[in-house]
Amino acid sequence: MGHNGIIAEGSPTVRGGRVADAGFRGVAHDRRGHGRSSKPYDGYDFDHFADDLDDLVTGLDLRDVTLVAHSMGGGELARYIGRHGTDRVRSAVLLSAITPAMAVSDRNPNGVPQKVFDDIKRGILEERSQFWKDTSEGFLSANGSGTRATQGNKDAFWSWAMQECIEAGVKCVDAFAGDVFYDDLAEFDVPTLVVHGDDDQVVPFETTGKVAAEFVADAELKVYEGGSHGIFTVPGDKERFNKDPLEFLKK
């Protein structure tokens, strides 16, 4: 048995079978308000998310773990290290992650405008089923010529999104729009792999993945040409992503 592994998302960020076949233990969890986790009315902020993760890690007494996180899960991973340190952590993988910051600010002048976040919340509140169907296009970069995204990819994205309760959906937007993770990334003292698609239409690479890889000492950066925000699911990219973290895990 290799060292323990945490996949910090309920979606199949790394296929569990491939992790197990390679001799590692894969542990996946759904964030509060999502998937099969409970859906409380509050606690949708990164301090709570990080403490939930710590409850899981300590409750299972996991040690020497590699934390793998996608999208806003990257903020959860970063805040976990910022609040709880790396005593139990061997390495980290940030996939299409929001770190170090999403929203436009003086420090992040090319960040995402507030109107984008407002439109997401409006879509969730007004007609979330259709909103998530529409959002699948940009999530998978299915709106361009030569896309490899399938209808099955779109349907799977919609299914995952619809498992999220409305309170979680709206409040999580406020969380990833309003929080920043510069100080948390500064606490990284473990090997870190940053994976990002250069056609990520949800979490722009230039202001997140590229910056995070420069910010974390000795981070390894892999940029997927034409890769979408959902590179873990699109044919071609998902096969590469199933391979890259496993090679990283074996180092």
The set of catalytic residues is 71, 200, 229
| DSSP label of 79 | H
Q: What are 4's strand-pairing partners? A: 25
The residues, any chain, with a CB within 8 Å of residue 116's CB and separated by 6 or more, are: none
Distance CA 53, CA 51 (A): 5
What residues are paired with 199 via a beta bridge?
A: none
Cis peptide before 100 (omega within 30 of 0): yes
Q: Which helix (H) or strand (E) holds 192?
A: strand 192-197
Distance CA 129, CA 51 (A): 30
Q: Are 73 and 31 in contact (CB under 8 A)?
A: yes
Q: Distance between terminal CA atoms of the chain?
A: 15
- Angstrom distances, CA of residue 178 to CA of 170, 172, 173: 12, 10, 8
* Inter-CA distances, 250 with 7, 50, 57, 199, Å: 16, 26, 21, 28
